[in-house]
Amino acid sequence: MRIFATSLLFLALSLGNAVAQNRPLADFFGQYTGAGIADTGALETTDISHRDLAVLIEPAENGFKLTWTTYFVSEAENTDVSFKEKSATLTFAKTDDESRFDAVGTGDPLTGAPATWARLDGASLIVNSVQVKPNGKYDVTSYIRTLTDDGLDVTFIRFKNGNVTRRVRADLMRDN
């Protein structure tokens, strides 16, 4: 049942709202910072942690560049608490479909290289990535960044083999 529900959620995230008019890409350009909550996605656990986030969306040749950074506390058993930072940058290029952008250098998910693309859906910029591991297991990630009056609402969902393994929900304020 969990796999069925997860599949339905992924389908809903993928389809989008055909009625809503897409916001122009330029509306998303800017720097955003804020905080959010992450959980493991497992219904039976309470593994919840705090995240500080920064997102930069800027124009790039034939598309846009997206940089996101996550700051979090790492606690391992019997060790000191440490502060960690993870950051990534992707550049996306226009496609024949005006609402879709492909990550530059995106790979073939069946060879182990992630295929990553972005799409505009109303007031949301959605970035999806799919990767198949050599053993046949797969990862799907989806970042939904929705414009608000003062910034972005961010939802991140990671699926591994049909199970939600991480969810993050954050509110970011526009810095510029």
Alpha-carbon gap, residue 119 to 66, rounded angstroms: 13
Mean pLDDT of 69-76: 74
pLDDT tens per residue, range 118-150: 999 999 999 999 999 888 899 999 999 999 999
Predicted local confidence at residue 37, as pLDDT? 87
Predicted local confidence at residue 148, as pLDDT? 96
Note the pTM of the prediction, 2 decimals: 0.80
From the DSSP assignment, how many helices (H) and strands (E) are in the chain?
A: 1, 10
Closest to 154 (Cα-Cα) out of 171, 136, 134: 171
pLDDT tens per residue, range 15-44: 444 456 999 999 999 999 999 988 776 555
Q: What is the dihedral of CA 10, 106, 90, 143, to 10 degrees?
A: 0
Q: Which domains does the chain have, with CATH numbers?
A: 2-174 (2.40.128.20)
CA distances to 21, 56, 84, 113, 144 from 31, rounded to whole Å, are 24, 4, 21, 29, 16
